[in-house]
C-alpha cells in the first residue's frame, strides 16, 4: 500500500531506523543531525521500537559503544555530522577494521574551522579512506530508502563492512518532502534477521577482538579489508536487484541522466543533482547534448561504470563539494580522473563549490556547461580547476 508522508531528510532517516528497529543505537547530537537523534529518542520513549538507546557523552564514545555492541552480535545504528565524525575518526577506522556492519547516517556539514554548521562534503570525504561504504543521497526519499538498504549491504557475509548514508546538511536534512513509505513488514522481510559472526556474547566460544598486530600480520589484515571492498563491488548490484523490486526503482552505483547521447556532462553528488537536472533539461531544449552522472556509491568507487558512461563524451566537469587541499582539485575529481586515465582520453575539469553551505544555483551550473561547450569546441582548457561561487 502506498503511503506518502511529509518528512525532512533527518526524519526520513529516523523513520527508516524505526522500521529497522536496531537492537542498539548509541548517538550524540550535533547540528544538523540532531533531528535524527531527537526523533528516534521519541520513538524509544513511546515504545515504538525495542532499541536500547545509549545517550553517550561524545561522538567518540558513540562509535566506541557501537563497536562494542556490534561486536557483541546485535544490529547497531548511529548518526553524526562534521566535527562529530572528526571526533570519532580513529574509531571509524577501527569499526571497519573489525568488520562490523554498523550503519551510520551522516548529515554532511563542513568541517571546522572556522566553525560552520552548513552543508559541504568535507566531513565524509575526509573519511573516504576509512574502509566504510559510502552512499550519497539526493533527497529525503533516497535517505529513507538507502538507510533501509544499508544493513543488507553491511551484513552481507562477503562484505561485512560498515556503511555511511550521507545527506546534505540543512538542504536535505531540514527540508520537508513527501516521502513514499514502505510497509513495516516489508522492511522487516527485506532486512531479515541479523546473523552475527564471532559474537563476543557467545561465551562458549570466547573471541579476542582488537589484538596487537606486529609487522608480521597487519598487512594481511588490511589485505582482507581490501578484498571485502572488492567483494562489495560484486555483491552490491545483486542486493540492489532485490531492493529495486521492493521500491520500484532502478538504483545502481551511479545514476545516469540523459547520458545516452550526451556530448558534455557533469559529475555531482547529493542535492546539487536536483538543480543540475533542471539546467540540463533547459539546455536540451536548446539542443545542447548535456547530461549528468550522479554518483550514489562513492565507496566502493564505481570506476568501471563511470568509464563506460564517459566513453562518448567530448568533455566532462566534476563538481566537488569539498577541497582536499592537494593543490590539484577535489576528491571526486581525482578519483574520476584516475579512473579515466588511459581508458577515456577527454578533457576533465574540476569545480569546487558550495563550501560551508554556499549556495549553488542554475546560474552556476550554466557557467560549468558553458565552459564545457567551449572546451568541446576548442579542445582547450582555460582553467583545469576552478571555484564556483566564491567571491574572487
Partner 1 sequence: MATIKELSAIPERLVSGHRLCAGCGASIAVRQIFLGTKDPIVAGSATGCLEVATTIYPYTAWNVPFIHNAFENVAATMSGIETAYRALKKKGKIKENIKFIAFGGDGGTYDIGIQSLSGMLERGHNILYVCYDNEAYMNTGIQRSGATPYGASTTTAPAGKVLPGKLQLKKDLTAIAVAHKIPYAAQATIFYWKDLVNKATKALSVEGPSFINVLSPCPRGWRFPQEKTLEISKLAVETGVWPLIEIENGTWRFTYKPAQKKPVVEWLKAQGRFKHLFDEKNKHLIEEIQKKVDEHLNYLEKLCSATAV
Partner 2 sequence: MSQKNWKEIPIGGRITKPGSSLEYKTGTWRTFKPVRDESKCSQCLLCWIYCPDSAIHVKDGKIDYIDYDHCKGCGICAEICPKKCIKMEKE
Residues that bind partner 1 (CB under 8 A): 23-24, 26, 50-52, 54-58, 60-62, 64-74, 76, 90-91, 94, 200-203, 206-214, 217
The CA distance from 265 to 280, in Å, is: 9
Q: Which lies closer to partner 2 via its Cβ, residue 192 or residue 210?
A: 210
Grid cell, residue 392, equals 574572487
Asked if 188 and 16 count as a contact pair (C-beta separation under 8 A), the reply is no
* Subset of residues 141 to 170 that bind partner 2, contact rule: CB under 8 A: 160
- The number of residues that bind partner 2 (CB under 8 A) is 24
Residue 24 partner contact from partner 2, partner 1, none using kind-dependent CB cut-offs of 5 to 8 Å: partner 1
**2 vs 208, beta carbon nearer partner 2:** 208
User: Which residue lies nearer to partner 2 by CB, 196 or 331?
Assistant: 196
Cell numbers at 120, concatenated: 559541504
206 or 248, CB closer to partner 2? 206
97 binds partner 2 (CB under 8 A): yes
The contact pattern for partner 2, residues 221-250, with x = CB under 8 A and - = no contact, is: x-xx--xx----------------------
Report the distance separating Cα 319 and Cα 272, nearest Å.
9
Would you give the distance in Å from CA 225 to the centre of its chain? 19
Q: Which does 100 bind (CB under 5 to 8 A by kind): partner 1, partner 2, none?
A: partner 2
Binding flag, residue 206, partner 2 (CB under 8 A)? yes
Closest CA to 13 of 193, 137, 192: 137
* Smallest separation (angstroms) from partner 2 to the CB of 128: 21
> Exposure string (b/e) for 196-207, b if CB count within 10 Å is 16 or more?
beeebeeeeeee
Distance CA 49, CA 41 (A): 10
> Does 210 help bind partner 2 (rule: CB under 8 A)?
yes
Query: Given the complex with partner 2, which of 63 and 146 has the nearer CB atom?
Result: 63
Told to check if 217 binds partner 2 by CB under 8 A, we report: yes
Q: How far is the CB of 61 from partner 1 (least distance, A)?
A: 4
Question: Are 127 and 92 within 8 A, CB to CB?
Answer: yes
DSSP code per residue over 175-206 = S-EEEEEPPHHHHHHHH-----SS-TT-TTS-
198 binds partner 2 (CB under 8 A): yes
Cα 298 from Cα 315, distance rounded (Å): 21
Query: Cβ of residue 217: shortest distance to partner 2, in angstroms?
Result: 8
Looking at the DSSP bridge assignments, the partners of residue 4 are 180
Figure out which of the listed residues 52, 213, 281, 359 binds partner 2, where binding follows CB under 8 A.
213
- Which of residues 113, 185, 193, 205 is near partner 2 by CB under 8 A? 205
Nearer Cβ to partner 2 (223/377) = 223
Residues in Cβ contact with 189 at an 8 Å cutoff, skipping those fewer than 6 apart: none
**Quick check: 58 and 28 in contact, CB under 8 A?**
yes
Q: Residue 69: which of 188, 209, 192, 190 has the closest Cα?
A: 209
Task: Choose between 90 and 183: whose C-beta lies nearer to partner 1.
Answer: 90
Nearer to partner 2, 189 or 224 (CB): 224
Q: Can residue 208 be called a binding residue for partner 2 (CB under 8 A)?
A: yes
**Largest CA-CA distance found in the chain, in angstroms, rounded:** 71
Give dist(CA 148, CA 153) in Å, integer. 10
Binding residues (CB under 8 A) for partner 2: these are 97-100, 160, 197-198, 205-211, 213, 216-217, 219-221, 223-224, 227-228
Amino acid at each position: 500500500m502506498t503511503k506518502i508522508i511529509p518528512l525532512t531528510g533527518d526524519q526520513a532517516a529516523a523513520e527508516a531506523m524505526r522500521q529497522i528497529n536496531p537492537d542498539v543505537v548509541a548517538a550524540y547530537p550535533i547540528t544538523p543531525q540532531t533531528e535524527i537523534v531527537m526523533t528516534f529518542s521519541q520513538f524509544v520513549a513511546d515504545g515504538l521500537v525495542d532499541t536500547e538507546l545509549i545517550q553517550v557523552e561524545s561522538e567518540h564514545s558513540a562509535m566506541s559503544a557501537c563497536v562494542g555492541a556490534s561486536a557483541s552480535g546485535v544490529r547497531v545504528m548511529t548518526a553524526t555530522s562534521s566535527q562529530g565524525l572528526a571526533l570519532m575518526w580513529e574509531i571509524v577506522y577501527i569499526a571497519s577494521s573489525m568488520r562490523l556492519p554498523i550503519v551510520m547516517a551522516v548529515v554532511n556539514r563542513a568541517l571546522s574551522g572556522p566553525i560552520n554548521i552548513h552543508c559541504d562534503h568535507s566531513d565524509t570525504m575526509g573519511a573516504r579512506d576509512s574502509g566504510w561504504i559510502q552512499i550519497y543521497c539526493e533527497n529525503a526519499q533516497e535517505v529513507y530508502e538507502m538507510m533501509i538498504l544499508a544493513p543488507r549491504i553491511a551484513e552481507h557475509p562477503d562484505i561485512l563492512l560498515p556503511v555511511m548514508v550521507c545527506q546534505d546538511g540543512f538542504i536535505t536534512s531540514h527540508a520537508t518532502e513527501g516521502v513514499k513509505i514502505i510497509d513495516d513488514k516489508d522492511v522487516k522481510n527485506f532486512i531479515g534477521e541479523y546473523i552475527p559472526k564471532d559474537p563476543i556474547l557467545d561465551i562458549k566460544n570466547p573471541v579476542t577482538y582488537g589484538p596487537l598486530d606486529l609487522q608480521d600480520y597487519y598487512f594481511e589484515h588490511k589485505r582482507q579489508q581490501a578484498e571485502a571492498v572488492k567483494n562489495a563491488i560484486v555483491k552490491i548490484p545483486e542486493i540492489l536487484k532485490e531492493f529495486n523490486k521492493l521500491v520500484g526503482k532502478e538504483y545502481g552505483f551511479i545514476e545516469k541522466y540523459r547520458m545516452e547521447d550526451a556530448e558534455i556532462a557533469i559529475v555531482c553528488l547529493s542535492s546539487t543533482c536536483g538543480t543540475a537536472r533542471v539546467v540540463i533539461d533547459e539546455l536540451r531544449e536548446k539542443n545542447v547534448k548535456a547530461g549528468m552522472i550522479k554518483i550514489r556509491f562513492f565507496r566502493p568507487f564505481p570506476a568501471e561504470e563511470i568509464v563506460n558512461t564517459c566513453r562518448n563524451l567530448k568533455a566532462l566537469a566534476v563538481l566537488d563539494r569539498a577541497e582536499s587541499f592537494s593543490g590539484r582539485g577535489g576528491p571526486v575529481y581525482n578519483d574520476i580522473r584516475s579512473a579515466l586515465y588511459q581508458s577515456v582520453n577527454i578533457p576533465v575539469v574540476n569545480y569546487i563549490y558550495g563550501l560551508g553551505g554556499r549556495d549553488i544555483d542554475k546560474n552556476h551550473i550554466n557557467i560549468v556547461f558553458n565552459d564545457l561547450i567551449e572546451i568541446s569546441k576548442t579542445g582547450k582548457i582555460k582553467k583545469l580547476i576552478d571555484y564556483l561561487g566564491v567571491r574572487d
